[in-house]
Amino acid sequence: MSDATERDEVVARSASPDPVPASLDHAPPNPTSPQQAAAPQSGTPAAPSVQPPRQGRRKKVLVAAVLLAGVAYGGDTGWHWWTVGRYQETTDNAFLQADKVTVSPRISGYVATVAVGDNQVVHTGDVIATLDDSDARIQVEGAKAELAKAQAQLDGYKAAVVQQQASVASAQADIANAQAGLAFSVQEAKRYADLLTSGAGTSQRAQQTDADLRQHRATLDKDRATLDSAQKQVKTYEALAASAVAGIASAQAKLDQAELSLGYTTVRAPVDGVVGDRAVRVGQMVQAGMGLLTVVPMGRDIYLVANFKETQLGDMKVGQPVGFTVDAFGDHEFHGRIDSFSPGTGAQFALLPPENATGNFTKVVQRVPVKIRLATDDPLLDRLRPGLSVEATVETRHGDVVPDGRTRIGFADGR
């Protein structure tokens, strides 16, 4: 074979495609294989190339958007803190409270009736319960009898005084009469004594006039004694009458006390509010001072006590506006203002106040109770209940403004 013939056969073999194994007839083309990456042979159509997704550019856009949102949020937060937040002090250690009153009887006795039920609205003076008043009525009747007896004694002593005063007047008249008779007897005795001395009279007549003189003197002494006795009797009965007046006052006081005790058998509501913690039942034996139920004031009588940290009190003052939310009413915002500050931290009024002079000391931030009065024109005011949890925010910025720039609403007293 010539060199030209061999060269033609080599060229022919290189131009024909290589045989493909049967197992690879249906295999998907590999875009990254050298055969696909290489230029196609002449006479064979080229396969379309697949471009990779533009993931890098999309990622950059996403990162830029996140950064922009973060900057916007940070700017808004910073602006809010600069204009509002730095003037606010907030705590969730706050609770609604009211000056609830425990109703107790002033006397002991058995409960006859109960006029109120659980959670009932009552007003000042409403009947809560009544006690058996049998004993109290008997005491009233006995006191009335004692008073009548004392009054009768006084009347008797007054009558005795009048009678003795009449005896005094009679004795004084008798004394005057006796004095006149004595004066006449003295003159008669002197005249008959002179006649007897001159011999013109008889001794019998002289003795008679002398006896009459002595009799008139005795009568005068007797009348004077009677007058003295009558005057003493007057003083005695006047003293008894004064004692009777005191007895009447004592009897009247006993009657008043008995009537009070009778009135105490009716237990009344001391304040307006709602009945709670009712423990009284009909037929129950109750003692004086025993708690029967509690009357809890509602509405404008409710106030807020917020326990702020001592580090939050620096800019707080009485009268500053307060905004707060109650857990029971979601995002509804109530308003009020600071009424007063506790004279000490909560720990100072604990049952066992802390003693920090023992040598073992751990500093703990203390809390000071702050009393906050509520605005009275909120539509949900009557739905508030003592004990509800509150989150309160105090606006310490100068000016008559509540948090978030809203104008402070009015209070019942107009201040």
So what's the pLDDT on residue 198? 64
Q: Which amino acid is residue 257, in one-letter code? A: Q
So what's the pLDDT on residue 131? 97
Identify whether 13 is part of a domain: no
> Domain range spanning residue 361?
89-99+295-405
So what's the pLDDT on residue 370? 96
182 in the same domain as 270: no
150 in the same domain as 127: no
Tell me the three state secondary structure of residue 195: helix
372 in the same domain as 302: yes
Measured CA to CA, the distance from residue 350 to residue 355 in angstroms comes to 12
Burial 115-141 (b: 16+ CB within 10 A, else e): ebeeebebeeeeebbbbebebbeebbe
Of 215, 233, 251, which closes a domain? 233
Instruction: Give the CATH number, domain containing residue 346.
Output: 2.40.30.170
Instruction: Give the CATH number, domain containing residue 227.
Output: 1.10.287
125 in the same domain as 274: yes
Of 274, 291, 308, which closes a domain? 291
Q: Which amino acid is residue 170, in one-letter code? A: S
270 in the same domain as 344: no
300 in the same domain as 399: yes
Contact indicator for 415, 376 with CB cutoff of 8 Å: no
385 in the same domain as 320: yes
pLDDT values of the chain reduced to their tens digit, one per residue, 415 residues: 444 444 455 444 544 444 444 443 444 444 444 444 444 444 455 555 555 556 778 888 888 888 888 888 888 778 656 655 577 899 999 999 999 999 999 999 999 999 999 999 999 999 999 999 999 999 999 999 999 999 999 999 889 888 888 888 887 887 777 777 677 767 666 666 666 666 666 666 666 776 776 777 787 787 788 878 888 888 888 899 999 999 999 999 999 999 999 999 999 999 999 999 999 999 999 999 999 999 999 999 999 999 999 999 999 999 999 999 999 999 999 999 999 999 999 888 888 887 777 677 788 899 999 999 999 999 999 999 999 999 999 998 854 444 444 334 344 444 4
Contact indicator for 235, 88 with CB cutoff of 8 Å: no
206 in the same domain as 142: yes
Instruction: Tally the domains of the chain.
Output: 3
Measured CA to CA, the distance from residue 163 to residue 25 in angstroms comes to 158
Instruction: Give the CATH number, domain containing residue 118.
Output: 2.40.50.100
220 in the same domain as 118: no
